[in-house]
Amino acid sequence: MTTDVDTPVRAKNTPEEEPSGAGRSERLSALAQQHGALVTLIVAMIAASLSFDTFLTGDNLENMALSSAFLAVVALGMTFVIVTGGIDLSVGSLFALGGVLAAWASRYGTVVALLLPLAVCGLIGLVNGLLIARSRLAPFIVTLASMLGARGILLSVTDEGSKTYLVDKESFFAKLGQGALLGVGVPVWITVALFVLGAVVLRRTRFGQYVYAVGGNEDAAALMGAPVARTKISVYTLSGLCAGLAGALNAAWLASGVTILGSGMELEAISAVVIGGTLLTGGFGFISGSLVGVLLLKVIQNVINQIGSLDSAYQQVVSGAFLAVVVIAQTWLGRRRRVL
Amino acid sequence: MLSVTGLSKTFPGVKALSSVDFTARAGEVHALIGENGAGKSTLIKVLTGVYQADEGEVTYDGAPVRFATPLQAQHAGISTIYQEVNLVPLMSVARNLFLGREPRGRLGLIDFRRMHRQADEALRDLGLRVDVRRPLRELGVGAQQMVALARAVSVDARVVVMDEPTSSLEPREVRTLFGVIRMLRERGIAVIYVSHRLDELYEICDAVTVLRDGKVVHTGRIAELDRLRLVALMLGREIADVRQEGLTKFAGSHDTEAEPVLEAHKLTIRHQLHDVSVSVRPGEVVGLGGLLGSGRTETAKAIAGALPTDSGHVVVAGVRVRTGSTPAAIRAGISLLPEDRKAEGIVPGLSVRENIALAALPGLSRFGLVDEARIDRIVDTFMKRLRIKAASPHQKVGELSGGNQQKVLLARWLAMQPKVLLLDEPTRGIDVGAKAEVQKLIDELADDGLGVLLISSDPEELIEGSDRVIVLKDGAVVEELTGEAVTEDRLMRAIATAPAASAVAATGTGTGPGGHDD
């Protein structure tokens, strides 16, 4: 978008409603919302690299990038859902299910190994969307149910988790997870490509406008002729697809479908999206912010791991505290804007 | 252009519209007016596809039509601007303007440059200069309303329905809006204009249709209908010489020398109230008169702390009350019986006993534990005193009749031992017998020394029930009727008066003849 002009052209007939100071501080708080996470990420990375010699090494960065990639793909789908004002708790289970299905299907070739998890997870996402949009059930409950359901399918596929399917390390599918291009892992490239695509879809397509409109004011969106139900169904399907794909890529990387992965991932993804500046109440958010949010969470985890003396359980304490700060800041900024 | 014939619509228990004929012609601004429940909004909703008619025919552009959804009506060229701005506040002005029909370039991606330019042009046409890239919510309400208007007319609308478009506009913005309406009229667009502000109707409208109780009581050129006649039609009263009939039987019975128990001084809420002052003495029933939207409900809510005021203050029994806080108002002894008892009052799933005790609970509990015996005593007292007809105190309130529900609410507030009772349309929607009982109760309560502020759309109830009537118009006090002047005739004349100055929403014109300043 072009934002060349910075001087506000105010509504001629309501000058007293918008003193120039109000416009400016409104803009400042919008900037804080938009780039706060990015600034924090940069500061955190500088501090970490000054404190630990091991932080800014190729190995460490690559590890962080790879482990971020899978969460990032899940957070991508989650961003769409949260911008519509919804929530998707099923993604952690779908991530694990996608991984196991991909590992099992990898014996039939790469295409099947990718399509099977996408089909199953996409279908579950579609059912989520249908129940939420058509039957008007609460997203929280619907996706909680499918989170449990998907876990159940996962357990039955793996004989209560006792069976682990392995991926042939020489297969092309394994390369998708383990290979590298120009020194950067393939999953990272895929993630970057998906984020560019996601950003274009959200910002530059009519569908993207509907996503914002539905989250911003559902009744108004309906009165303006936006296909509210179709938009909701689409975002939950998309979220399911993203979770399935992330699971499949993760299986390729690990060369096996690990059943215990993915629990709690839905909360991690939601945290990343919210930290990235997307409003949990919907109607406002950015794809790029979610990527920054994921990276920030991973840097915090990495730093705490580097401080060997700290129990790794503190990761969650710090991540949780961070999330609380962001949400408080968002509420505060939002309230201030309403007052102005 | 758009017309209906023999239109009827029934909701469970209510006949909202019965054989209504209505025609909006191209190049004409048609006023649609009527009091609450007259059927205006139902008619609009049938015209715009939100409701389906039970009987009758809608003709659009010479052919019979049936709109199943608002979207179909919009596609056919019927645009509606709602009282509340129905846009997405977090999205930019341009995105709101073009949602669903954004100009697209290559690859089907939105061409923002073109969209911003077109949005800017569309708004400039309406005399609005804003940065279309900024979020909508940074605009004032008036400017937002103009964006909604721009959206409505830019979809090649041939009929534009405006439901109280000026209720949140500044006088200056109203002028701009009227400019746009005149432009629409010149373009041959049919405008249906709903408003309660008589001055506006006479200024901008060509034709008028008055609805009452779901029926058309008048339709014709607005210039041929004088103000007083219009008000009489709306309220369903004849302007006969009824001067002496409603003579104040209450006037002498109360001690008018007593110090006011409630004094509201110069209450002001932007766009809603202008310097409204009201005082009520113990044992006195003061009526708040005026048309719907004149600021009656807002005044009551402002006194009860349910609406934050911009300026002004409220004094109860000599003690100043913090405004904008319901708990503070309740502690001071102000109780409000709200207009919409379903949405703001009763909890239908709870029992009569629980509903009555709800507000009084904090005073009835010790260390967080509820004193059951005391509640039983209080509930019993009020059920007898207010003659609440319920099988037992444990019956669900949702199962009671409207009149008894209203009494339960009244009991709830009386259990708080208020000094002042604000009643907003206490008899709406309840049957005739129950109505008389509630009215009798109000009288008894006043006799017991309570100060009562009564709001009613029924002129008869207002006149008969009140010792004094304060008449509101466009959020300001226009007249105060006292003593022998408390008649329906005077009330209607006060409502119909043309404004002294040209300003649509001038500040209050004082408390009128015979009034007292506090």
CATH number at residue A273: 1.10.3470
For chains A and B, CB pairs below 8 A equal 114
Q: Looking at the 3D structure of chain A, how many domains does it have?
A: 1
Partners of B17 in beta bridges? B9
Domain with A81, as residue range(s), is: 34-339
Domain ranges, ordered by start, for chain B: 2-235, 245-333+419-518, 341-417
The answer to whether the CB of B214 falls within 8 A of the CB of B220 is no
Residue A29 lies in a domain: no
Q: pLDDT, tens digit, for every residue of B115-170?
A: 999 888 888 877 778 888 888 888 777 788 888 888 887 777 888 888 888 776 77
Cβ of A11 and B102 within 8 Å?
Answer: no
Report the chain A residue with the minimal C-alpha distance to residue B147: A11
Cβ of B140 and A212 within 8 Å?
Answer: no
The answer to whether the CB of A106 falls within 8 A of the CB of A177 is no
Residue B26 burial by CB count (10 A; 0-12/13-18/19+): exposed, middle or buried?
middle
Q: Which of B305, B299, B374 is nearest to B335 (CA)?
A: B305
Report the chain B residue with the minimal C-alpha distance to residue A200: B109
Cβ of A13 and B70 within 8 Å?
Answer: no
Residue A22 lies in a domain: no
Partners of B262 in beta bridges? B280, B316
Residue A273 lies in a domain: yes
The C-alpha of B341 sits at a distance from chain A's nearest C-alpha, in angstroms, of 24
Q: pLDDT, tens digit, for every residue of B44-101?
A: 888 888 888 888 888 888 888 888 877 788 888 888 887 766 788 888 899 988 888 8
Residue A151 lies in a domain: yes
Residue A25 lies in a domain: no
DSSP string for residues in A220-267 = HHHHTT--HHHHHHHHHHHHHHHHHHHHHHHHHHHTB--TTTTTTHHH
Task: Name residues whose C-beta falls within 8 Å of residue B414's C-beta, 6 or more positions apart in sequence.
Answer: B335, B382, B386, B421, B445
Residue A93 lies in a domain: yes
**Predicted complex ipTM:** 0.75
**Which strand (E) or helix (H) includes residue B231?**
helix B227-235
Q: pLDDT, tens digit, for every residue of B305-358?
A: 888 888 888 888 888 888 888 888 888 888 888 777 666 677 777 888 888 887
Cβ-defined contacts of A317-320 (< 8 Å, 24+): A319/A268, A319/A271
Of A1, A225, A279, the CB nearest to B71: A225
Residue A26 lies in a domain: no
pLDDT at A127 over 90: yes
Could you tell me if residue A282 is left (phi over 0), alpha (psi between -120 and 50 degrees) or otherwise beta? left
Of B74, B128, B176, the CB nearest to A225: B74
Q: What is the DSSP letter of B339?
A: S
Given the candidates 3.20.20.70, 3.90.330.10, 2.40.340.10, 3.40.50.300, the CATH classification of the domain at B2-235 is 3.40.50.300
Q: Is B133 on the interface with A (CB under 8 A)?
A: yes
CA distances from B518 to B13, B259, B300 (A): 45, 10, 18
Of B74, B110, B176, the CB nearest to A205: B110
Report the chain A residue with the minimal C-alpha distance to residue B134: A8
Report the chain B residue with the minimal C-alpha distance to residue A201: B109
Strand spans (E) along B305-418? 311-316, 319-321, 334-337, 365-366, 369-370
Q: What is the DSSP letter of B507?
A: P
Mean confidence (pLDDT) of chain B:
79
Q: Which tokens sit at A275?
A: 């930290």
Q: pLDDT, tens digit, for every residue of A42-95?
A: 888 888 888 777 777 778 888 888 889 999 999 999 999 999 999 999 999 999
The answer to whether the CB of B285 falls within 8 A of the CB of B442 is yes
Cα end-to-end span (Å), chain B: 54
Given the candidates 3.20.20.70, 3.50.50.60, 3.50.40.10, 3.40.50.300, the CATH classification of the domain at B245-333+419-518 is 3.40.50.300
Cβ of A209 and B82 within 8 Å?
Answer: no
Residue A14 lies in a domain: no
Q: In whole angstroms, what is the distance from residue B161 CA to residue A226 CA?
A: 20
Partners of B396 in beta bridges? B351
Cβ of B100 and A225 within 8 Å?
Answer: yes
Cβ of B89 and A13 within 8 Å?
Answer: no
DSSP string for residues in B47-68 = HTTSS--SEEEEEETTEEE--S
pLDDT at A330 over 70: no
Query: 3-state DSSP call for residue B223?
Result: helix
Of B88, B131, B172, the CB nearest to A217: B88
Asked whether the domain spanning B245-333+419-518 has the same topology as the one spanning B2-235, the reply is: yes
Residue B237 burial by CB count (10 A; 0-12/13-18/19+): exposed, middle or buried?
middle
Cβ of B109 and A17 within 8 Å?
Answer: no
Q: Is the dihedral of CA A202, A207, A209, A214 positive or negative?
A: negative
Which residues of B fall within a CB distance of 8 Å from A3? Answer: 133
Which residues of B fall within a CB distance of 8 Å from A15? Answer: none
Q: Report, as an integer, the average pLDDT of A185-209.
A: 90
Q: pLDDT, tens digit, for every residue of A7-54?
A: 333 333 333 333 344 456 666 666 666 677 788 888 888 888 887 777
Q: Is A2 on the interface with B (CB under 8 A)?
A: yes
Q: Which tokens sit at B119?
A: 């949005």
Of B71, B134, B173, the CB nearest to A13: B173
Could you tell me if residue A295 is left (phi over 0), alpha (psi between -120 and 50 degrees) or otherwise beta? alpha
